[in-house]
Amino acid sequence: MATVRIPPVLRPKTGGAPEVEAAGGNVGEVLRALTDAHPDTSAQLFDAEGELNRYVNVYLNDEDVRVLDGLGTAVSDGDTVVILPAMAGGSR
């Protein structure tokens, strides 16, 4: 199983847990296991077509999955998946 680090904005949807364990052979399967266990996270992570929302960044062991194989990036037991919502905005 992989450890998924949950950002503070999503923790209310995981019962306050800062980390959860999720099984899967790749990043997409791990995130789907997360949404199966915590359905309220699904709309935050995935769009209507099932793709990762563009404002969500995902890292596997500190590597951005976009420069790897995206959601198809292989995951091994003991790996860490980090979800980071993109920040936007600022002062005028």
Number of domains into which the chain is organized: 1
- Per the domain annotation, does 92 fall within a domain? no
**3-state SS, residue 85:** strand
- Per the domain annotation, does 36 fall within a domain? yes
- Per the domain annotation, does 32 fall within a domain? yes
Structural domain boundaries, residue 44: 2-85
pLDDT of residue 88: 63
Global pTM reads 0.90
pLDDT digits (tens, 9 = 90+) for 38-87: 999 999 999 999 889 989 999 999 999 999 999 999 999 999 999 999 86
We report the CATH number of the domain holding residue 44 as: 3.10.20.30
pLDDT digits (tens, 9 = 90+) for 5-29: 999 999 999 999 999 999 999 999 9
- Per the domain annotation, does 60 fall within a domain? yes
pLDDT of residue 86: 83
pLDDT of residue 89: 57
| Strands, E assignment, the chain | 2-5, 19-22, 56-60, 63-64, 80-85
